[in-house]
Structure 1
C-alpha cells in the first residue's frame, strides 16, 4: 500500500523554506524482531530517499541526529523490519519512536504533537486495511457456502465503511493539523477518491481554510490550494460535459484495464448500474444476456457498459465470471460512494440509461420488452 501518495509532493516547498533551522534527534527501541537495522527516510518532491541508517544496540536501541531541519514540520519515515512509521518532524524536535512486536500496530511516539496525532490516524487506518485484506483472502477458500459468502460480504462492507467514516471524522476533527493533510491523501485498495469524487473538494477546502489560521506560512497550504483549484476546474468540466451530452466515465474492468464509456461512441449503449450483492442480479443479468445476444449482429452495434456498485472485488469478479457476462463490466469498488452514482443521479439500484449512437440519452430505467422495442428502432 502506498502510504505517502500525493502527500509526498507537498514537501517540495518545505525543503526550500527559509525558516529557522535546528537540530533534530530521533531515538528509541525496537523489540520483537530479528531485524538489526533501522533506516530514516526523507520524503522529497519526486521520491522517497534514505538519508541515514543505524544498527540496533543489544537492547534494541537506535539514534539519529539531523541538522538544518526546517522549523516547519515535514515528512520523514522511520523504517524497521520493512514497515514505515511516518513522522512530521520540525527543527528542534526530540522524538522517541519505538515498538514491541508489530511495528505498525504497536509503535509509540513522544516529543512531537503532530507525529503523535498522525500515529492515531495511521495505526487505525492501516490496521483496518489489513482487516479488509484478511476478509478478502477468505473468498479464495474452496467450497464456501452461499451463507458464508454472504457473511463475508457483510463483514467486508461494514469494515470498509467504518474505516471511511473514521478517516473523514479524523480529517474534520483535526482539520487544523498537518496530520489531516496526510490523512486527506490516504486511500484504501481500489479507491481513487477520498469519498465521492466531485465532493472531495469540500474536505480539501475545509483543511486548507483551517491551515490558513494554524499554519499561515506553511508550504503545504499553497499546494492544497492548487489541488483545490484543479478539483474545481475538473468539476466545472464535468458539468459542461453533462450539459452537452452524457457524463463520461472511466472505470476499471476485472483485469485492471481502464475503459471509457465514450470509447463506445457510435454504438447504441446501455449504461447499466447493478450490484453483485443484490439478490436479483442473477435474474436481471440473465434477461439482459438474452437481449444482448439478439442484437449482436444488428446493423448498428449494441453494447452494455455495466457498472458494479460494490466494494468487494472478489465478490464482483466471481459474479462476472460465474454469470459469464459478455459485455463491458467495470467498477471503482467504492460502493455507494462511487462518483458515477452522483454523475448520473442514481439513487437506487438497479438503474440504467440507454444512449443512442449520437451520444444522446434516450431512455432511463428501461427493461424487458420496452428495451427490445427501443433497440429495434435504434439499431436499424
Structure 2
C-alpha cells in the first residue's frame, strides 16, 4: 500500500494501507476467487479494484440479482475494494489465494461479512484495535480544520491542542501495532502493518524491532521482504552518515545546491502542500527558524508537490521564509529518493560538515536539539 507517514495522520492510515508507497519484491502469482451476494442489487454494476502501485486495477460485472464472482491472478495478498459506486460505500477485503465468500447489503456495504480469508480476519482484529487511535486523530483533525476555517483568535492554543491529539493518537497506535505484531508473529498482517505505518525515515528502529519479532515465514512474505528492503535502504541515510548531496530548482527556477550551505547547521525538511500533518507542524518549524536563523542555521524545504501553484501558495500561506526547492515530481522527487523518504513530514538535521546528526525532529524535539547545538 503505497505510502505516511507515522509522521502519521492516522486518519490516512486506512487509505495508506490500501495504497502503500513501497514496492516489495515479487511473489509467485496465485489465484483468487471472490464471490457472494449483495442484497438489494438488481441489474446493477458491481466493481472490484485494487491499487497496483501506480494506479487501480478494476474489474466489473452486471448482476441481475446481486450475485457476483470475480476471479484473477493474485501477485501478493492485498486489499481489494468491492463497491457499486466509487464515490459511495465500499467493502474492503484483504484478499488471499483461494475462495472468499462475501455477504452484504446494498445500503450498508461496508458492514458486509467476509469468509475464507484468514488474513482478512486478522486485519479486522487489528482495525478494531485501532479505533481508539482513529478517534483521537479524527478529533485533532476536526479541531485543526475548525481553526483554519474560523480563524479563531485563540488559534495558537487550539493548534497546540490539535497537535497534542495527533501525538497521543500516534503513541496509542504504536502500542496497538506492537501488541498485534507480538501476538501474531506468523501472520502476514504483521509485516503488512510495518509496511503501512512504519516504513518511513525516522521509524527505522521501530520497523527493525518489529521486523525482528516476525517469524521466518512472515519475514519471507511479500510484505516482510518489503520491510527488509526498506531497512537496508534507510541505513544509507542513518544518523552518522553523510547527507546525500543534491541540486534542485528553487521557487524562481534557479538551481540550488545543498553543498552551498556547508559550514551551517541545516534542516532538510520534506513536506508538501497537500500534507495535513506537514501543515500542522509548519508553525513549529517557523518558530524554530525565527529563533535560530541568525545563528548559522538554515532550512531547506523540499516539496513533494507536483503543481507549482499549490506549492507556492502553501509557502506564502504558512509564512515559510527559508529556502524552498522542488522538481515537481511528487513522490518521485529525486531528493526524496536519495533520503529514502516514504512519508511526510520528514526532516534531517545536518551538522556544519553535512553529516546527519538527527532525523524526524518534531514539536519540542526540534527546539531541544537546536538549543543543544546552537548557542
Do they fold alike, i.e. is TM over 0.5?
yes
CA contact (8 A) 1:88 1:115 kept: yes
1:89 aligns with 2:93: no
CA contact (8 A) 1:208 1:224 kept: no
DSSP-derived class of the 2:150 partner: coil
| Separation in 1, partners of 2:105, 2:245 | 45
List runs of 5+ in structure 1 lacking aligned partners: 213-219, 293-301, 308-316, 354-362, 368-380
CA shift in 2, pair 1:265/1:123, >3 Å: farther
1:232 aligns with 2:226: no
List runs of 5+ in structure 2 lacking aligned partners: 1-14, 270-277, 302-311, 326-335, 351-355
| Separation in 1, partners of 2:19, 2:317 | 37
| Separation in 2, partners of 1:49, 1:161 | 34
1:28 aligns with 2:34: no
What per-residue deviation string (whole Å, max 9, x for no partner) do you get for residues 13-60 of structure 1? 331x6xxx7x835213267x9994321236668764223424363xxx
| Separation in 2, partners of 1:271, 1:7 | 28
DSSP-derived class of the 1:38 partner: strand
Match of 2:116 among 111, 114, 131: 111
**What is the CA distance between 1:324 and its match in structure 2?**
4.2
CA shift in 2, pair 1:281/1:183, >3 Å: closer
Instruction: Determine the structure 2 residue equivalent to 1:173.
Output: 183
Q: Aligned residues, how many?
A: 304
**What is the CA distance between 1:269 and its match in structure 2?**
2.0
CA contact (8 A) 1:247 1:344 kept: no
What per-residue deviation string (whole Å, max 9, x for no partner) do you get for residues 64-110 of structure 1? 1537x78x97336132132461322322x241242575655x34323
1:186 aligns with 2:196: yes
Give TM-score scaled by structure 1 length.
Answer: 0.57
| Separation in 2, partners of 1:249, 1:98 | 53
Instruction: Determine the structure 1 residue equivalent to 2:8.
Output: none
Give TM-score scaled by structure 2 length.
Answer: 0.58
1:14 aligns with 2:28: yes
Match of 1:74 among 63, 70, 77: 77
| Separation in 2, partners of 1:63, 1:173 | 35
What per-residue deviation string (whole Å, max 9, x for no partner) do you get for residues 146-201 of structure 1? 243333333333234333433343333323112223323224xxx86186135423
Instruction: Determine the structure 2 residue equivalent to 1:98.
Output: 104
Instruction: Determine the structure 1 residue equivalent to 2:210.
Output: 203
